[in-house]
Copies of this chain bind each other. A is one copy, B any other.
Amino acid sequence: MSGGVEWALHCCVVLTTSSRPVPAARLAELHDVSGSYLAKQLQSLARAGLIHSVQGKSGGYALTRAPESISVLDVVHAVDGPGPAFVCTEIRQRGPLATPPGDCTGACPIARAMWTAETAWRDALAGITIADLARDVDADSGPEALATVRAWLTGDPAG
């Protein structure tokens, strides 16, 4: 799993505090990460339609949908791609004892087992929304935490 997922999730959570677009550079400064690279993750989120970009002087990124309708799985798929983590190379069809292609109607038992587990993983991620995460942050650090973030994000660049 690429580390960009963590950054993307944190960005989505803090974006729930601001209805105005937030520049990528400001998000990078808030999290103390490379702005040049965070831009890449934000572009992935934008391509997936989770956030939308606003160009121009007071532009930036803002959530496209309500936080309740953005699942953690949506973010993971946007950043890491929707493909399965386990890729079956059809080993059973290779070697001297290869299974005839006619007998390979479905996926091989090993791939089925791995994909079943991945489905459980995806179902768990699909059941958690960005709104849930924001609520958990409130529960952990108190409501003033995200309020402070909101003020910092929308405040004066001199900070």
Contacts and interface: CB of A to CB of B under 8 A. Distances in A.
Interface of A: 1, 3, 5-7, 9-10, 13, 29-33, 72, 85-89, 91-92, 94-97, 99, 103, 106, 108-110, 112-114, 116-118, 120-125, 128, 132-133, 136-137, 140-141, 145, 148-149, 152, 159
Given A91-B33, A121-B117, A6 B97 contact: no
Given A91-B6, A91-B7, A96-B30, A133 B121 contact: no
B87 A3 contact: yes
A75 B123 CA distance: 23
Nearest to A139: B109
A145 B86 contact: no
B117 A124 contact: yes
A62 to B, nearest CB: 19
Contacts of A3: 87, 89
Contact of A152 (B96, B116, B120): B96
A99 to B, nearest CB: 6
A139 B3 CA distance: 40
Nearest to A129: B113
Given A29-B95, A159-B96, A89 B6 contact: yes
B32 A1 contact: no
